[in-house]
Amino acid sequence: MPDVLKFHFDVDGSDFSSAGEASVLVKKKLRQLGYPADIIRKVSIAMYEGEINMVIHANGGTADVEVGEKDITIILKDEGPGIPDISLAMQEGYSTARENIRVLGFGAGMGLPNMKKYTDSMDIDTVIGKGTTITMKVNL
Amino acid sequence: MKIREIKEILGAELLCGECLDGDVFSACCSDMMSDVLAYVKDQGVLITGLVNPQVIRTANMMDMVCVVFVRSKIPTDDILELARESGIVVMRSDLRAFDACGLLYSAGLSQTSGDKHA
């Protein structure tokens, strides 16, 4: 049984301009490991949207990436406010991001839909007032 | 279309990147990065009036090869440094986004011309 390659990142919630650094690093690592471009793109876009979401809504959190034999798993964990209505949050165009985030180019209501679109499975575990853990898998 | 042609058509100023002979197969214009991330296109150019590091990260995620900042926007040095690290060509143009897109579209570049590469 080959080892699962693991990456761990702390996502800083206080600095929007650095949001996405972990995703850029993961993309670089996966390229070095020689994975196909479409797989790399799916993983990095989904993770990037998740990272941005954590910074916008949850004051940061952690991101873990596990590269297995059959799939790549991305686990994003925050201690933010939680998602009150997941089906509404999954609706394209729905966003609770404030105007100060929209002027930065996010808050179009495409974050969660994009994460679902680019992954083969996505599980959202959210508790109001406690936080959210999103687990996404991209099949290899 | 070559990156060099984009520069010529838009009368743009090159800010970073050396490989202007790279091919561009599609274009996307938006100030909302999540909308850009919703549509995968290979070898694309991103036209935007938004200026922050997330523009470059978004282009990187999408494997885009060129970013054009329109409406006379000037990116900061840290943005250009990110682009250099990612191997993305960056230019700026005084044109408005609508005009920049119109000129590139008329010259044969379109949103869908990259579909066969998606």
Burial of B99 (0-12, 13-18, 19+ CB in 10 A): middle
User: Does B33 reach chain A within 8 Å, measured CB to CB?
Assistant: yes
Residue-wise pLDDT for A28-37, tens only, equals 999 999 999 9
pLDDT at A1: 52
Parse chain B into domains and list their residue ranges: 3-108
Give the lowest-confidence range in A40-44, A100-104, A107-111, B36-40: B36-40
d(CA A137, CA A43): 8
B113: confidence class by pLDDT, cuts 50, 70, 90: low
Residue-wise pLDDT for B59-101, tens only, equals 999 999 999 999 999 999 999 999 999 999 999 999 999 999 9
Prediction ipTM score: 0.89
pLDDT, average across residues A59-71: 97
pLDDT at B114: 46
d(CA B43, CA B25): 6
- For all residues of chain A together, what is the average pLDDT? 94
Q: Which residues in B8-27 are b (16+ Cβ under 10 Å) and which e?
A: ebbebeebbbeebeeebbbb
Residue-wise pLDDT for A75-118, tens only, equals 999 999 999 999 999 999 999 998 888 889 999 999 999 999 99
Looking at chain A, the whole-number percentage of residues with pLDDT higher than 70 is 99
pLDDT, average across residues A27-51: 96
A61: confidence class by pLDDT, cuts 50, 70, 90: very high
pLDDT at A68: 95
Residues from chain B that touch A27, judged by Cβ atoms under 8 A, are 60-61
The string of DSSP codes covering chain A is -PPPEEEEEEEETT-GGGTTHHHHHHHHHHHHTT--HHHHHHHHHHHHHHHHHHHHHHSEEEEEEEE-SSEEEEEEEE-S---S-HHHHTSTT-----HHHHTTT--SS-HHHHHHHTSSEEEEEEETTTEEEEEEEEE-
User: Does B38 reach chain A within 8 Å, measured CB to CB?
Assistant: yes
Q: Between residues 76 and 115 of chain B, which touch chain A (CB distance below 8 Å)?
A: 78, 86
Q: Which residues in A8-44 are b (16+ Cβ under 10 Å) and which e?
A: ebebbbeebbebbbbbbbbbeebeeeebeeeebbbbb
**Highest CATH level, class, for A5-139:** alpha beta
Asked whether the beta carbons of residue A106 and residue B62 sit closer than 8 angstroms, the reply is: no
User: Does A119 reach chain B within 8 Å, measured CB to CB?
Assistant: no
* pLDDT value at A55 more than 80: yes
A64: confidence class by pLDDT, cuts 50, 70, 90: very high
Parse chain A into domains and list their residue ranges: 5-139
Q: CA of A49: which chain B residue's CA is closest?
A: B34
Residues from chain B that touch A52, judged by Cβ atoms under 8 A, are 34, 54
Q: CA of A28: which chain B residue's CA is closest?
A: B86
Asked whether the beta carbons of residue B61 and residue A109 sit closer than 8 angstroms, the reply is: no
pLDDT at B118: 36
CA dihedral B9, B38, A44, B51 (to 10 degrees): 50
Asked whether the beta carbons of residue B37 and residue A104 sit closer than 8 angstroms, the reply is: no
pLDDT at A116: 96
pLDDT, average across residues A2-24: 91
User: Looking at the domain that runs over B3-108, which CATH code has it been given?
Assistant: 3.40.1390.20
